């Protein structure tokens, strides 16, 4: 199976967030460097729902607990979009390779 | 045009509040509706809690079969203890709207829990308990949100859906007049948002089944019980004559007046050919004390915190959200044999061996559980000597079904009907400074429409009876696996003869839920506690 590139996943994630952000009164541009909590004003429950959308979009589970545990170890408990994309790519392609 | 049904959910509504409001002229519309049909108490499931109870109403199945026992799923059996937020993927049985779709009928479904992610049905779904930031993509069909925003200039997702920051702010300090005013206004605005969405869809896209849930009733009763319960404010009339308490009561009454106006307008819009059913998921009553269950488990040797130093901070009122969230992950599972993971369901889980060396092996399970039950039932109020735990449901008593294994091992009913605290504490039992509202098993049921007798007051029905009644009212057969029955006492004998209840063979039972199939595993912490706290389940 062909590996999904970071560019494709980034486009997917940005499309999803830009669609949602129409209601958020967020005037800035959403980029790979945007922080989910600090910039977009996420509440933690928003992370739960975003994870649902990502899983629904790709039709498969991702180990979000692992990602969140990693975030919990950091001084800054936040996540850049680029990190989310990398996380998705690693597990999407890891799963594809093993399939 | 065929028959139609309107289902109006009033989360947590109880006749002990509604009857006095009707007597006092606050809810004349509800009074007229009841006079034109039938009323009954509606017995909830165990636990009498929003997610399992509404899911039972939506599916006609008990929690042991639909698999929803709480807001969260606590899983010790997979080896790594986990808490996970439940959603529609976890509902293991077909909903009434999916059954209607199978028969070619349409539904409009607004604000019901466990409907996110919205499943494809014939009709429209705006799921409940969804954070407002995500509502745009949470609706079904996907185009629905854009259509609502275009058609309704006042549409505001931040007021309609969950805004944790607003809810938490409203509830963090409900001690001052303005806190209550803010909370009540928040819920009036929210109900108005749902009302405008509902009436818009009823006009533009009428469905065979229209179902809406107004959830502010539950919230107000949790936090404003003493302003609503006639037994409390009548006992101290001076406190309610000229003080700020009387103003808070006035705002509460305004909320219920608004709900009554909605009931009248919705029923009028639906028309005389539409059967109207009002139901609540559970009732309500006062709670006057807090039982610190995990502290009791700790002191009796069942629960060990991993970080003893951290537990020194014992006063609940000094604990922030982050600290509370960490509690679950600060358990020493190698030494813990029983734990209450959430403050909403009064459920205790017994640790299996896979969760750590301290787990209880299968051969010891029955004796261990019996001893734990006996010890809990022996616990008494030191001031009065009265037992604090009134009843304990075992897993197989409360949750027999295909998903029983995921249910709590024990579910406690406390003497005051309240919820336990999961926090450490200096004391095991503490009086509340003021009475608050807590769930009771007896909710409300009102029905009016074709074939339903007028002015009936019938014995309590089961919440499991609502799904069969909805299907019957739409001339559909009742699937044989539904656990309730069509309440024939509502109908005259002649009507029943001409409209016999039909049944259909069991649809194929899904072996696993969508969540199990996807192995979704969202181990998220703080949002869980924050959500529950904002919903009024966190002490």
User: ipTM score of the complex?
Assistant: 0.70
Q: What are the domain boundaries of chain A?
A: 6-22+35-76+84-98
Partnered with residue B478 across adjacent β-strands are B503
Cβ–Cβ pairs < 8 A, chains A and B: 79
CA B341 to CA A80: how far, in whole Å?
Answer: 31
Burial of A94 (0-12, 13-18, 19+ CB in 10 A): exposed
pLDDT at B81: 64
- What whole-number distance in Å separates Cα of residue B317 and Cα of residue B315? 5
A24 touches chain B (CB under 8 A): yes
Nearest alpha carbon to residue B110 among B528, B65, B121, B284: B121
Determine contact, residues B16/B221, Cβ cutoff 8 Å. Answer: no
pLDDT at position B292, please? 96
For residue B55, the model assigns a pLDDT of 98
Q: Which domain holds residue B473?
A: 1-539
Residue B55: name the closest of B69, B74, B42, B76 by CA. B69
Most A CBs within 10 Å, among B131, B156, B535, to test the A interface: B131
Residue ranges in chain B modelled with pLDDT below 50: 1, 309, 312-325, 511, 517-530, 532, 538-539
Structural domain total, chain B:
1
Going from the C-alpha of B168 to that of each of B8, B72, B83, B537, the distances in angstroms are 26, 19, 21, 12
Model confidence band, residue A80 (pLDDT cutoffs 50, 70, 90) = very high
Question: Of B208, B214, B196, whose CA–CA distance to B274 is shortest?
Answer: B208
Would the CB atoms of A45 and B530 count as touching at under 8 Å?
A: yes
CATH (domain of B76): 3.40.720.10
Q: Is A56 on the interface with B (CB under 8 A)?
A: yes
Whether chain B has a CB inside 8 Å of the CB on A37: the answer is no
Q: Which residue of A has its CA nearest to B531?
A: A45
Instruction: Look at A49 and B138 and tell me if their CB atoms are within 8 Å.
Output: yes
User: pLDDT-derived band of residue A96, with 50, 70 and 90 as boundaries?
Assistant: very low
């Amino acid at each position: 199976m062909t590996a999904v590139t970071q560019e494709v996943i980034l486009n997917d994630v940005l499309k999803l967030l830009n669609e949602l952000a129409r209601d958020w009164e967020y005037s800035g541009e959403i980029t790979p460097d945007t922080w989910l909590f600090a910039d977009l004003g996420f509440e933690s429950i928003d992370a739960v729902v975003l994870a649902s959308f990502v899983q629904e979009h790709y039709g498969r589970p991702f180990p979000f607990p692992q990602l969140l545990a990693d975030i919990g170890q950091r001084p800054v408990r936040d996540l850049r979009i680029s990190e989310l994309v990398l996380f998705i790519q690693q597990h999407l392609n890891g799963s594809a390779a093993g399939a | 045009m065929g028959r139609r049904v309107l289902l109006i959910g009033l989360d947590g509504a109880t006749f002990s509040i509604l009857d006095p409001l009707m007597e006092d002229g606050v809810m004349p519309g509800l009074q007229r509706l009841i006079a034109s049909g039938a009323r009954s108490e509606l017995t909830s499931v165990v636990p009498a809690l929003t997610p399992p109870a509404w899911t039972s109403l939506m599916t006609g199945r008990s929690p042991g079969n639909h698999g929803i026992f709480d807001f969260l799923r606590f899983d010790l059996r997979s080896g790594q203890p986990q808490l996970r937020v439940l959603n529609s993927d976890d509902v293991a049985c077909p909903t009434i709207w999916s059954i209607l779709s199978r028969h070619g009928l349409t539904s409009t479904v607004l604000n019901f829990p466990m409907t996110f992610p919205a499943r494809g049905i014939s009709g429209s779904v705006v799921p409940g308990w969804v954070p407002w930031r995500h509502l745009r993509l949470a609706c079904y069909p996907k185009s629905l949100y854009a259509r609502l925003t275009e058609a309704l200039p006042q549409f505001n997702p931040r007021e309609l859906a969950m805004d944790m920051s607003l809810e938490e702010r409203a509830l963090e300090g409900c001690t001052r007049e303005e806190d209550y005013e803010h909370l009540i206004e928040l819920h009036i605005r929210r109900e108005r948002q749902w009302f405008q969405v509902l009436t818009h869809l009823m006009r533009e896209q009428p469905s065979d089944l229209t179902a809406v849930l107004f959830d502010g009733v539950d919230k107000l009763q949790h936090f404003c019980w003493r302003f609503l319960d006639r037994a409390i404010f009548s006992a101290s009339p001076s406190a309610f004559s000229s003080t700020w308490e009387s103003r808070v009561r006035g705002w509460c009454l305004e909320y219920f007046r608004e709900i009554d106006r909605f009931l009248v307008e919705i029923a009028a819009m639906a028309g005389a050919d539409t059967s109207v059913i009002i139901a609540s998921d559970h009732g309500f009553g006062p709670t006057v004390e807090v039982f610190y269950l995990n502290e009791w488990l700790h002191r009796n040797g069942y629960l060990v915190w991993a970080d003893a130093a951290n537990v020194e901070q014992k006063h609940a009122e000094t604990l922030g959200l982050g600290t509370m969230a960490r509690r679950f992950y600060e358990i020493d599972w190698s030494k813990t044999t029983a734990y209450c993971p959430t403050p909403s369901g009064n459920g205790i889980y017994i640790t299996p061996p896979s969760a750590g060396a301290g787990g209880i092996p299968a051969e010891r399970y029955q004796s261990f559980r019996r001893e734990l039950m006996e010890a809990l039932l022996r616990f008494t109020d030191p001031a009065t000597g009265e037992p604090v735990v009134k009843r304990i449901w075992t897993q197989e008593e409360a949750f027999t079904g295909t998903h029983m294994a995921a249910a709590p091992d024990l579910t406690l009913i406390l003497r005051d009907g309240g919820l336990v605290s999961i926090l450490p504490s200096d004391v095991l039992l503490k009086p509340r400074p003021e009475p608050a509202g807590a769930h009771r098993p007896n909710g409300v049921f009102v029905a009016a429409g074709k074939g339903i007798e007028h002015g009936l007051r019938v014995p309590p029905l089961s919440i499991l009876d609502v799904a069969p009644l909805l299907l019957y009212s739409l001339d559909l057969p009742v699937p044989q696996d539904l656990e309730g029955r069509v309440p024939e006492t509502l109908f005259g004998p002649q009507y029943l003869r001409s409209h016999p209840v039909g049944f259909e063979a069991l649809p194929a039972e899904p072996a696993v839920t969508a969540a199990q199939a996807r192995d979704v595993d969202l181990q998220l912490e703080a949002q869980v506690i924050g959500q529950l706290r904002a919903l009024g389940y966190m002490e």
